[in-house]
Amino acid sequence: MGFQYPTSLVGQGTNSALVRGTVTDSSGGVVPGATVTMTNEGTQVSQKATTDNAGRYIFYSLPPASYTATVEAQGFKVEKRPNIVLRVGDQTDLDYTLQVGTVTQVIEITSAAPLLNTVSGSLGAQVTNRYLSELPLLDRDISELPYLAPGVTEVQNARIGQLGGTVFASNGQHYATAEFRLDGALLSNPEGGEGGSSIVQYKPSVEDIQEFKLMNNGFSAEYGNNGGTVINIVTKSGTNKFHGAGWYFFRRPSFDANDFFSNRDCPPPGDPSRPPDGCKGAYAHDQAGGLISGPIFKDKTFFLFNFEKTRDNAPSTSTTSVPTALQRQGNFSQTFNSDGSLESIFNPYAVAQDPLTGDFIRQPFPGNVISGNCTKNQPDPTDPTRTIVVTTSCIDPIGQAIMNLYPLPTGPGDPLTGLNNYTYKIVEVAPGYQYDARIDHNFSEKSRIFGRYSRSHSTDTVPDPFLAANFYRNETHDVGLEHNWTLTPTLLWTNRISLHRGYFTQKVQPTVDPLSVGLPSNLVLNPWYNEKNFPDFFIDSYQGLVTNACCTDTLETDTQWMINSIVSKTKGGHSLKFGGEKRIFLNNFFQPDDTSGEFEFGQGLTTQSVFNPDFSQGNSLAGLLLGWADWGAVVARPHVANKSGETAFFVQDDWKVTSRLTLNLGLRYEWSTPYSERYNHNAFSCFSCDSGIFVPSLGEFTGREILGTTILATPSRRHADSDLNNMAPRFGFAYRLNDKTVLRGSAGLYYGQSYPTNWQYGGSAWNKGVTIYFSKDSGRTQYANLANPFPVGFIGPQQGKYGQLTLWGHSNGNHGSEANRNAEIYQWNFGIERELPGLVKLEVHYSASRATHLPWNYSVEDRNFVSRADREKWGSQGLEELVPNPFQYLFQSINGSTPIFNEPDSLYNDGTTQRINLLRPFPQFDGGFTGFPLFAASSSYHSLQVRFEKQHSHGLVFLGNYTFSKFIDDTDSGGNAWIGNLGFAGTPQDFTNRRAEKSVSANDTPHRLAFAVIYELPVGRGRPLGRQMNRALDGIVGGWRVSTNVALQTGGPTTFGLQNGRLADGTQRPNINGNACSGANVDAVVNGTANYFDSNAFAVPADQIPGTAGRYYSNCRQPGIHNLNFQLAKRISLRESMALEFRADFFNFLNTPRFYAGNTTFGSDSFGVIDSLASSSRPRHGQIGIRFEF
């Protein structure tokens, strides 16, 4: 026997494996002309190779499976080795030493192969079908599998299992940037409508998956255009024998524990306020399916078909705040703050200026009751640019009618504030199904092809007692086709094409006719959208009405094509690959958003001071009754049809320099083509272009022609410039010290996913939020009202009629600018790998990354912010002061001037404007001037990663990892900060000092330990205890298995906000002096006997002065993750190839809650209070299943 143990290359290739080696004789001489045959033990399909003059052979593209290798040469005994398990992407060295003899003599090799990776410096993890099928996975969802790899951490509030779930942090990369592949074809795609982030719309059933592989450092030049992590999923294929399975898994409320707060706060039995069905959720989940596979033509053609159907019923009970009977009448005499003081309300229609301070002061309502008549300013019907004074009822009839749509309270609510006085229950119903079909066909030993079609369909109906139910529909189609052609024994050509197509719709179904409450038809019947919907009403501290119409009637279809071609060539010790890839992404998107208006009512309008509001005063419901909102808008926008692309070429050489040393040398060149829009409804901001207009009376603010123009897309200039310098070298090595120890390392440059892959709204010239100006002077006087929201009429989008001067006098919210930049991600690692007794492998690695040119999030698209010097010079009152408007002559004829713009709804028609508008660098725009985000953010990551894995022996397998790391960055966003409702710190505090944003990352996780164990109890027929046990007894005590997967993770760092901050443009943070965390025990905090933060360490900064608080605090962390899932399974063998299995899975088996960070807004009454669970936290819940296989 002269077999040399195989070594596998983790991270190379796509959805197949490569085997190579050298055949020698017992003296060490090479054996040319030997025949090596690899036979798939399932399909019996064989491939043959012949050794060259140096005794070398190679198999380029073997599907993952178990193989038997046979080596034959004239004058030598035949060597045969069964059970060679090849995994996806493996490169395996199989060297043989033949013994002299005859070809009729066969030597069978039975020793186990070691686990070491001796030919690559890449890092990652492979999860085989054993773990997929036997671990407790919630809803049998693959979303938990990435966490079995070192360096992968759960991000705060990410909901594992949700659609689009790439929201994990991996090896210092930003969330939602990983690339998923299914059978080598792209499965992930840019997030439709937003771009810059990666989502997965289709997740195959665990029953259909052969292997799951994650690579997150040092992978080959074959991969790119992602955040530095690639996940490749390979589906099963049919074999020469028919195989099948059927299963049914279900979850019921009786299997589940109650969550922490529901259990704590639930009234005892007999209490009339206790819900009839108790306080525990009544979630139910059913999942049933089947799989069948086998031959169509023996040894030639094979099929597999898998179908699965699910249904979720999710009753939920919620508590919110609705108006009391007194408040409906305008009586706020019984409305109190949390400290018991009266929440005084003041009349915004009765305002007088304080001659000493210059502030404007509102008068109180007598008795804290809104009644009688008020003197109001309203638009002049004959000249809507002016106002007239009328005397009418203080209570607005439309506001009253809307207030009356609320249900009456179901209980008294909080004993002081009366909030949380309404409890209601809904049942969300979400059925769905999915299936996969795969065909494999072998034309010959040299040519084979496979194709796969996958489809999923789901709906979700979410009732809503506050005027708007939601209906969602998701559908995906995924097709992959691959052909492998062995042109010569040393040359393979692989071609692959894939198509992904997804559909998404959302329909909001209002239950009240908005015209019935008096809302005007020019608001409700948006001329840009032929539907009648009810507006959104957001009421601070109270339940809003509708409030989810932002995505009313969303229609989205996205299509992604991928074509790649790869040639693999071996020459001497070189295994070469070179090829290219083309991706095309098409996104058709229509998201009307608030087609009938959105209104926000806050308490500030009914406080005493206009400029310095005291937020112990005022009430948002009072603003609704008065018919005076803080803000309002109606959206008018078109359908868009975006197209973008990615192109790449690469070369990779895995060079076996000696029997101990292998080098991985690669180079990739890629570029992205930013999105274009089919109808050229696209625009780009140029921040340095000269507008050609000089405004003389701008005087003290600027002495030059105004900069800042809009470039409208044309047939010859349809998209932003591409980033064309993306050359990505890769290097790796593996050095075998001895048969049980390997040194490995790598370094490489990777480029992140292109930010401008699509945009859901088009350029601002075609996409307009028609602002409803309830006041033009910061709340001193009213202008528009609910009955007349558009005094000058509904003015739709400009559609580019002003050329480069587009949107003067309005906010210019272009999504694009001239230049685009891909993030640069540098990765490197070095480590040692050791085989231990008992088929255990231990790896210890230093793994690091640094990223530059990351996109700041959407809040930093805006360049139109006031300088720090001007903020501090003028303060809030000075910035909001009305001054002469130097732009008026461009909008109105002044002293015989000829206006350039006819924009009746622009505030620049008025003779005055707020000083802040003229202090901005682009004062021609009343608000923001945006483009692509600044590609100037950066991050760094350093970690110690330990990985351990045991192959099956004595009924036991396990794998796991420990990561100790430090992650620093200056922005949270990899694109869309809303994916997964992550709730990260978005807007920087001071746009003029972005350096101050540098801190530990939101995803900084100093410690994470994760592992999975599967253990077959040693009792029963064929096992160590009871090997000859009779079948009856074995049916009771034999065939038991336990498995678990455990995650322990440090909590994320904390970010602090400030209630009612006063900082123009940015988000003001508090001052912090000392340790922000109180050091109190979490149990004491959630029980209300302690506060999570030390309030004495916080203070309110001065007006227009940034607070001293950093973006995130490493020494003040939210509660961490302590989760254990457990499975008990019983397998009953019915006959040799037929079995029945019963399973009981329990998730969060120890019922350990994961608490939310608590209220981190200083100034809030609940600051430092933990009163909720993280959205990813679930109480213990169970899943029962039965599975039959043959």
- In whole angstroms, give the CA distance from residue 48 to residue 355: 97
CB atoms within 10 A of CB 811: 17
Q: What are phi and psi of 388, to 5 degrees?
A: -125, 165
User: Is 680 within 8 Å of 715 (Cβ atoms)?
Assistant: yes
What's the confidence (pLDDT) of residue 157? Answer: 58
Amino acid at 985: A
Residue 811 DSSP one-character state: -
In angstroms, the Cα distances linking 1000 to 990, 1115, 1154 are 18, 10, 21
What's the confidence (pLDDT) of residue 976? Answer: 44
Strands (E), 874-1025: 882-884, 912-914, 937-953, 956-969, 999-1000, 1007-1016
What's the confidence (pLDDT) of residue 983? Answer: 42
- In whole angstroms, give the CA distance from residue 1069 to residue 1058: 5
What's the confidence (pLDDT) of residue 469? Answer: 81
User: Is 501 within 8 Å of 558 (Cβ atoms)?
Assistant: yes
Closest CA to 92 of 125, 123, 142, 57: 57
Burial 591-605 (b: 16+ CB within 10 A, else e): bbbbbbbbbbbbbbb
Domain boundaries along the sequence of the chain: 3-108, 322-420+594-636+766-795
Cα dihedral sign, 1082-1085-1089-1094: positive
Instruction: Give the angle subtended at the CA of 1092 by the CAs of 1089 and 1097, to the nearest 5°.
Output: 115
User: Is 216 within 8 Å of 273 (Cβ atoms)?
Assistant: no
Instruction: Give the angle subtended at the CA of 590 by the CAs of 588 and 592, to the nearest 5°.
Output: 170
β-pair partners for 1041: 1016, 1129
- In whole angstroms, give the CA distance from residue 498 to residue 207: 22
Cα torsion 224, 226, 227, 231 to 10°: value is -90
Burial 1163-1174 (b: 16+ CB within 10 A, else e): ebeebbbbebbb
Helices and strands per DSSP (H, E), number in the chain: 10, 60
What's the confidence (pLDDT) of residue 5? Answer: 34
User: Is 132 within 8 Å of 808 (Cβ atoms)?
Assistant: no
Ranges in the chain, pLDDT < 50: 1-13, 161, 163, 974-984
Strand 707-712 and strand 683-690: the pairing is antiparallel
User: Is 245 within 8 Å of 308 (Cβ atoms)?
Assistant: no
Pair of tokens at residue 395: 């209570």
User: Is 513 within 8 Å of 532 (Cβ atoms)?
Assistant: yes
- In whole angstroms, give the CA distance from residue 431 to residue 578: 45
- In whole angstroms, give the CA distance from residue 646 to residue 194: 17
User: Is 165 within 8 Å of 157 (Cβ atoms)?
Assistant: no
Amino acid at 627: G
Q: What are phi and psi of 684, to 5 degrees?
A: -130, 140
- In whole angstroms, give the CA distance from residue 518 to residue 825: 56
User: How long is the chain?
Assistant: 1190
What is the per-residue DSSP string for 418-448? Answer: --S-EEEEEEEEEEEEEEEEEEEEEEETTEE
CATH class of segment(s) 3-108 = mainly beta
Closest CA to 438 of 128, 211, 183: 183
In angstroms, the Cα distances linking 146 to 153, 235, 501 are 9, 17, 24
Sheet hosting strand 3-8, strand order edge to edge? 3-8, 91-98, 17-25, 56-62
pTM attached to this predicted model: 0.87
What's the confidence (pLDDT) of residue 704? Answer: 63
- In whole angstroms, give the CA distance from residue 520 to residue 688: 43
- In whole angstroms, give the CA distance from residue 88 to residue 212: 8
